């Protein structure tokens, strides 16, 4: 398995802040929430809560994924934002670089996903008992020399590892993916997947909130 890039050892980058929420940038290699054991205590939620003790987790990103992550600043705001996610009122847009040349300019992937328990945290496609999962993709650029394609990804559902499994299922694994790529990535190769845009209704006013984060690759 490849060794992921080490995230910054401390500090947070605040993208947007409001009385009701905080949007922070999560670097690749940093956990979203604490894992098991003291060696996994460092995470974005702990760093945000060190500065904003009232901050509450609303959603998560894979450790290897970078980009926008939303926190509520009260229980009422957390409930409102959780409802927005459940009702699919939250817009999420990712940018990834995948192996190979994606021929279609755009498309939609409908593949049901479920945890591959013997090999967790891997997820897998299962048409019998998998949960419905949908991802829209659009080609942003093709690199014929490196045989890579930059794509924009819009998940309609929010399954674990959804974008990674869906792109791998097309034969175009995300570069740096140690779980779903047919060829193990080289050491120090980060996963080229970034949560670039996040939109949601304000948890108090219901006004639209739009956040963006520059793609670091």
Which residues form the catalytic set? Answer: 62
| H/E run at residue 25 | strand 21-26
| H/E run at residue 71 | strand 66-72
Contacts for 137 with CB less than 8 Å, ≥ 6 apart? 102, 106, 107, 108, 109, 151, 152, 153, 154, 167
Residues 161 and 173: their CA atoms lie apart, in Å, by: 12
Complete DSSP assignment for 122-172: -EEE-TTTPBP-EEEEEEEEEETTTTEEEEEEEESS--TTHHHHHHHHTT-
């Amino acid at each position: 398995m490849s060794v992921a890039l080490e995230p910054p050892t401390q500090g947070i980058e605040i993208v947007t802040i409001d009385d009701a929420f905080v949007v922070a940038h999560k670097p690749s290699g940093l956990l979203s929430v604490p894992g098991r054991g003291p060696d996994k205590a460092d995470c974005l939620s702990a760093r945000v809560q060190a500065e904003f003790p009232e901050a509450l987790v609303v959603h998560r990103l894979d450790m290897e994924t970078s980009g926008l992550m939303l926190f509520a600043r009260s229980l009422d705001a957390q409930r409102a934002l959780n409802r927005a996610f459940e009702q699919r009122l939250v817009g999420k847009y990712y940018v990834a670089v995948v192996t190979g040349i994606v021929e279609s300019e755009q498309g939609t992937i409908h593949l049901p996903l479920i945890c591959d328990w013997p090999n967790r945290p891997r997820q897998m496609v299962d048409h019998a008992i998998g949960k419905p999962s949908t991802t829209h993709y659009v080609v942003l650029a093709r690199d014929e020399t490196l045989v890579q394609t930059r794509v924009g990804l819009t998940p309609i559902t929010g399954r674990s590892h959804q974008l990674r499994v869906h792109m791998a299922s097309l034969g175009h694994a995300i570069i740096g993916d140690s779980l779903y790529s047919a060829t193990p990535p080289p050491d120090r190769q980060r996963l080229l997947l970034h949560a670039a845009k996040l939109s949601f209704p304000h948890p108090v006013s219901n006004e639209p909130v739009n956040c963006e984060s520059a793609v670091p690759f």
